[in-house]
Structure 1
Amino acid sequence: MVSDGPLKAYDADFHIHIGRALGKPVKIAAGASLTLENLLHHAAYVKGLDVVTVIDGVCDNVLLEVERLVDEGQLTPVAGGGLLFRDRLLVLLGAEVELSGPTGGAAHFGCWFPDVLRAKDFNGWLKTVQKNTQLSSQRAYTDAVALAAQTHERDGLFIVHHAFTPFKGLLGNCVRQVGDFLDIHQVDALELGLSSDSSMADRLSELSELTFVTNSDAHGVKTIAREYNRVRMQGLNFAEVAKVLHREAGRGIEANYGLHPQQGKYYRTRCRVCDELVAGNGACRCATDKHHVYGVKDRLDDISDLVEPAHPAHRPEYVHHVPLCDIPGVGPTAYRKLLEAYGTELAIRRTADESTLTDVVGERLGIVIARALRGEFTWEAGGAGTYGKIIF
């Protein structure tokens, strides 16, 4: 389809949590320093993002803080939907909602909204199906069809969150096919999660028409943009983001940037007690599977209908990368020097080379960072909640 105007590239992280709002908890597992204002500042000025979804933006106290920032002029409503933070960062308001699986387990879904009014209206509906709308990721006593319908009735976007994880992943611990949980045509995009990539997900043929998104699911400011999307659209507003997910009028995702799946903390099946990786249905040193956490790779080997991935023509490149703070030797001093030299973390990824890096942080660390940026490393695989380790 022909574009209706010039398109530009933007960097987007569509899944960032809030730790506290108005001094009260929002996402229990998130850090207290991850307030709305810290999130916005860090995303814009430290990470270098252009678009974020505040996935707890529909929670009671977060909505109040959003309205305060609008009144103060720090957030400005945008034609086409969304809010602009200090004229540089598009902010979308979302909710992460937990639903029971049809035969057990539970799954998380993202619901994004174009403005404060519709976010507040959705909050009002949530109060009829949730016990506590002050907190994020709470169980809703409804079904996925109804949740998607309520989202779309408010012109929102409905996303499957971290689809393959063993905890709260639709395909990781609930069902073997999306169609066993809801109508796949109600889904606007599917989030891969930290322990999978496009090659793993494209072994499931039912997902071929869906857009894949790669987001940080950040629970602290440091992990914002550990996974993100390079998107192609005409400008910064909600309507353009919707066109990206639906691949309309030339819009779309140019590249998914994400951790190597082996760095993910649920990549392989692992025992939580003895920390041993478990192949197939094998036993660990504990001689029991009672404490095993089913790995994403092993789960996909079980449920996939394709031996090899079949990438549809619309699927963009998946770029494996290592977050800057995960590179061995990058401590607070080196991190500060790098930001002073390049401006933001994403600028480092786009423009840094070995020569300039060694000028900033010295030869030894500069070479290590350059090798990490080029992907010259292997992994000790993660599992059971333990992240994988980089091996040079």
Structure 2
Amino acid sequence: MNSYHADFHVHIGRSLGKPVKIAAGSKLTLDNLLYHSAFVKGLDVVTVIDGVCDNVLTEVKQKMDQGDLIPVNGGGLMYRDRLLVILGSEIELAGPHGGAAHFGCWFPDVESASDFNTWLQTVQKNTSLSSQRARTDAATLLEETHTRGGLFVIHHAFTPFKGILGRCVSRIEDFLDPALVDALELGLSADTLMADRLSELANFTFITNSDAHGLDNIAREYNRISMKRPSFNEVRAVLHSVNGRRVEANYGLHPQQGKYYRTRCRHCDTVVSSADDTCLCGNDKGHVYGVWDRLEEISDLAAAVHPKHRPPYIHHVPLRDIPGLGPRGYQKLMAAFGTELAVRQRATHSQLTDVLGEHMGQIVARALQGDFTWQVGGAGTYGKLVM
């Protein structure tokens, strides 16, 4: 088996000059996504989660005609002999008791992705945009995905707006059949220690992905996976731990850095104990329920119980979030190590000080080692490192 690094959730901002993911940056085009994933971030696998949207699908086909994306035996597309590309779609479904949740549907080839797009046109108003509400139910979406050879993933399971467990349902089984789910994405404000306080999640494969809406955020969370070669079928085997394929490790933000970690007042940014509480500032509206607080409410275990198949969760800090590391220092690191993942995983303390100087090298080394405290995130504001 070989080890690969994968980010299975990256959005597209614009395609063929038109918007795709409304909240994503205009520089997050298909060209830039592919190049940055492979040669700046250092990934081996990426899921273009808007790959089934109309214009993105057209661009993908154009790149195939040009030889920039080549079909892989076993599924997926290869970019410049460097990056396995999986085409996906993020779909919103209404919850059974209100609210809504996002799900990822990944496909093995452009034909199955195109066929899924054709079906989506019968249940969505605008298939050129990402993350649109589908006028269907979870059982149908699961069937339409799996009958095309696809994989079905729960996205950012605990976030307060579009997470299935955020404020939609308290148990996965209240929304869909857990046995039909191929993987569960933890999201930026949760980690394994938090999620494994829910006993119903013991059989799920956890994945950690960036949900990137901008180029810099690609691979802010990612996975190290073990498989024989890069292909869609091998990824499928990874998610189901078949014949030695597996998720070796989840790499993710410290949950405190996530923008939905604690319940906070939108008005004054104070942490409040409940989404229904009145803040000391007098504001009794606009609180955003935090992931930590939600898990305190719905967890059935006092402490995490990790199943034997659960890989380690390795916390890290994105380079661009390290205080004091400006563009010049960042470029020095890239020139010395090649990619961001190489800096995070292989750079030694002495190498960092050699490249950045004693002061900045010490700061980066401390950040990469987790030697800091947090001003925690919430209500849509990311947490900040305090060093």
TM-score of the aligned structures, taking structure 2 as reference length: 0.99
1:372 match = 367
Name the SS of the counterpart of 2:365 in structure 1. Answer: helix
Measured in 1, the distance between the counterparts of 2:187 and 2:287 equals 20
* Long gaps (5+) in structure 2: none
The answer as to 2:198 corresponding to 1:185 is no
Q: Distance in 2 between matches of 1:150 and 1:373?
A: 42
Code of the aligned partner of 1:334: G
Look up the match of 1:240. Answer: 234
Counterpart-to-counterpart distance in 2, 1:330 and 1:247: 39
* Structure 2 residue matching 1:293: 3-state secondary structure: coil
1:301 aligns with 296
DSSP-derived class of the 2:86 partner: strand
Paired letter, 1:308: A
Deviation of the 1:282 alpha carbon = 4.1
Residue 55 of structure 2 corresponds to residue 39 of structure 1: no
Could you say which residue in structure 2 is the equivalent of 1:278? 272
Q: In the aligned structure 2, how far is the partner of 1:274 from the partner of 1:374? A: 32
C-alpha separation in 1, matches of 2:151 and 2:141 = 11
Q: How many residue pairs end up in the alignment?
A: 386
Residue in 1 that maps onto 2:43: 49
Structure 2: which amino acid aligns with 1:66? V
Greater shift, 286-295 or 194-203, is seen at 286-295
Residue in 1 aligned with 2:109? 115
Is the Cα contact below 8 Å between 1:255 and 1:316 reproduced in 2?
yes
Partner of 2:256: 262
* 2:16 alignment counterpart: 22
- Determine the C-alpha separation between the residues in 1 that align with 2:294 and 2:214: 28
Whether the aligned pair in 1 keeps the contact of 2:183 and 2:207 (CA below 8 Å) is yes
Q: Residues of 1 paired with 2:49 and 2:378: CA distance?
A: 25
Distance 1:190 1:153 in 2: 20
Which one-letter code corresponds to 1:361 in the other structure? L
Please give the alpha-carbon distance, in whole angstroms, between the structure 2 residues aligned to 1:199 and 1:26: 34
For residues 57 and 330 of structure 1, the distance between their equivalents in structure 2, rounded to whole angstroms, comes to 33
Q: 1:351: Cα distance to partner?
A: 1.3
* 8 A contact 1:274–1:285 mirrored in 2: no
Shift of 1:288: 4.2
Higher mean C-alpha deviation, range 55-64 or range 286-295 = 286-295
SS of 2:134 mapped into structure 1: coil
Is it true that 1:333 corresponds to 2:339 in the alignment? no
Give distance in 2, aligned partners of 1:332 and 1:92: 31
Letter in structure 2 aligned against 1:379: W
Deviation of the 1:299 alpha carbon: 0.2
Q: Percent identity?
A: 67
Deviation at 1:32, TM superposition (A): 0.3
Q: CA deviation at 1:353?
A: 1.1
Distance 1:115 1:282 in 2: 49
Task: Measure, in 2, the Cα distance between the counterparts of 1:369 and 1:344.
Answer: 15
**Partner SS, residue 23 of structure 2:** coil
Q: Residue 125 of structure 1 aligns with which residue?
A: 119
Whichever residue aligns with residue 45 of structure 1, its letter is F
Q: Is 1:196 matched up with 2:154?
A: no
Over aligned residue pairs, what C-alpha RMSD do you find?
0.8
Tell me the secondary structure at the aligned position of residue 270 of structure 1: coil
Q: Output aligned runs, 1:3-152, within 5 Å.
A: 7-152=1-146
**Alignment-mate amino acid for residue 197 of structure 2:** R
